[in-house]
Structure 1
Amino acid sequence: MSKRLSDEDQRRVDEYLSAPQHRVERKPFRPWLLLAVVLISVIGMGLISRLLSLLVL
């Protein structure tokens, strides 16, 4: 596979990525928490819509 960047450009990219503002510690991604939040949101909005339909009709 051929290189996409020249050595100088690759050095600039490495410098940029190693700067302190780009070294942010992040928590690990938790897909089950995301799924739970989405499900709770959908169920909650469904219940609210049913409540509103009962109040309107």
Structure 2
Amino acid sequence: MTSRLNPDDQQHVDQYLQLPQHRVERRPFRPWMLLVVVLSAVIGLGLLSRLLSYLVL
């Protein structure tokens, strides 16, 4: 995808993004870890709801 900025403006944007405060080191995205967290939350809330239903009824 090409930029709609003129080359001078694009150069200013590139310089701005190269500043140290805009360069944040991030860990790589791990989709399996996200899947584990979501599944454990769903299973945990399901078990909690069953426990509460047994206690109420």
- CA distance in 2 between counterparts of 1:2 and 1:36 reads 38
Question: Which piece of structure 1 moves more, 20-29 or 37-46?
Answer: 20-29
2: CA distance, partners of 1:53 / 1:9: 61
Decide whether aligned partners of structure 1 residues 21 and 3 sit closer, same or farther in structure 2, where only a CA change above 3 A counts: closer
List structure 1 segments (4+ residues) > 2 angstroms apart after TM superposition: none
Alignment root-mean-square deviation, CA: 1.6
Q: Percent identity?
A: 68
Gaps of 5+ in 2: none
TM-score normalised by structure 2 residue count: 0.90
The total of aligned residue pairs comes to: 57
State the secondary structure of the residue aligned to 1:11: helix
- TM (normalized to structure 1)? 0.90
| Pairing 1:14–2:18 present | no
Structure 1 stretches lacking a partner, 5+ long: none
